């Protein structure tokens, strides 16, 4: 039963009604179910400290709490249990049967991403461009392309026991295309766009340079962006981080490799021209 004396206990219950035909390009994270994600290293968030690359001040209301109630919505949580309210006359003010792992009340609903296109994302290594966590999730007729690290990730509990996976729980990607690199590399085509290389925009062809040689991020103030440099680099179009999850009728296309110039014995790879492909320490 939900605690009707607190709206915090009901955070994450609202279902995603319709999500069709949307897209995202060149954002660190694309579609996230978590309440928060990794920090964007290299971007100054302290308004008292001025730097070439600082976060844009937020104009949203300051989050406030009165007793056990969040004054401003939405009320978010790290877990999402979308549920359909089944009450007489549609009054959900006293809704007390949210979705649970066993779908005890038959109120659980599916989070469905349909015809979603996302490209050139660069989520931190423990996250992915599309990050769906537990429940009944479906990604269908979509396209995930040119990701720097994780593309799509489903998370359950990390095992196959009833404690890890809810009764009948499924997380499925179907009829979706995963493309490693949609454009030819400059080595093969002199007219190719060097900023769209599969190793990222910082490479020997684009001539872009990070503001400094930090081993954990690449800040580029002239472009208003910063990339986290992950300790475990590499493209993981269908990311594996706590399963099980499933896929069917998907296509994986144009997945290439890029050779780094940093040798394992050279230590720090922060000066490698392929910054997004270079590990913090080789």
How would residue 267 be classed by pLDDT, with cut points 50, 70 and 90? low
Average pLDDT, the chain: 82
**Whole-number CA gyration radius for the chain:** 21
Q: Residue 144: is it exposed, middle or buried by C-beta count within 10 angstroms (0-12/13-18/19+)?
A: buried
Secondary structure of residue 130 in the 3-state scheme: strand
pLDDT of the residue at 37: 85
Measure the CA–CA gap between 75 and 214, rounded to whole angstroms: 36
pLDDT above 90: percentage of residues in the chain: 27
pLDDT beyond 80 at 5: no
pLDDT beyond 90 at 20: yes
Structure confidence by residue, pLDDT tens digits, 34-64: 888 888 898 988 878 878 888 887 777 666 6
């Amino acid at each position: 039963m939900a605690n009707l004396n607190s709206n915090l206990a009901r955070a994450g219950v609202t279902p995603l009604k319709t999500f069709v035909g949307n897209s995202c390009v060149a954002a660190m994270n694309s579609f996230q179910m978590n309440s928060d994600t990794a920090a964007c290293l290299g971007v100054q968030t302290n308004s008292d400290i001025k730097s070439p690359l600082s976060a844009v001040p937020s104009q949203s209301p300051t989050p406030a709490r009165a007793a056990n109630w969040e004054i401003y919505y939405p009320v978010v949580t790290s877990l999402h249990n979308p549920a359909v309210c089944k009450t007489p006359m549609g009054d959900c003010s006293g809704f007390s049967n949210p979705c649970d792992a066993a779908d005890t009340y038959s109120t659980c609903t599916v989070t469905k991403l349909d015809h979603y296109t996302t490209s050139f994302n660069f989520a931190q290594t423990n996250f992915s461009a599309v990050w769906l966590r537990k429940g009944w999730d479906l990604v269908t007729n979509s396209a995930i392309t040119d990701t720097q690290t994780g593309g799509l990730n489903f998370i359950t509990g990390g095992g196959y026991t009833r404690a890890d996976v809810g009764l009948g729980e499924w997380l499925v990607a179907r009829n979706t295309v995963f493309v490693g690199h949609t454009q030819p590399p400059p080595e093969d085509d002199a007219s190719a766009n060097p900023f769209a290389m599969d190793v990222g925009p910082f490479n020997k062809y684009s001539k872009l340079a990070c503001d400094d040689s930090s081993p954990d991020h690449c800040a580029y103030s002239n472009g208003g962006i910063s990339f986290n440099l992950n300790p475990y680099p590499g493209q993981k179009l269908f990311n594996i981080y706590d399963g099980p999850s499933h896929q069917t009728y998907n296509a994986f296309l144009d997945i290439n490799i890029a050779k780094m110039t940093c040798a394992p014995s050279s230590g720090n790879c922060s000066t490698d021209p392929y910054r997004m492909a270079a590990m913090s320490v080789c």
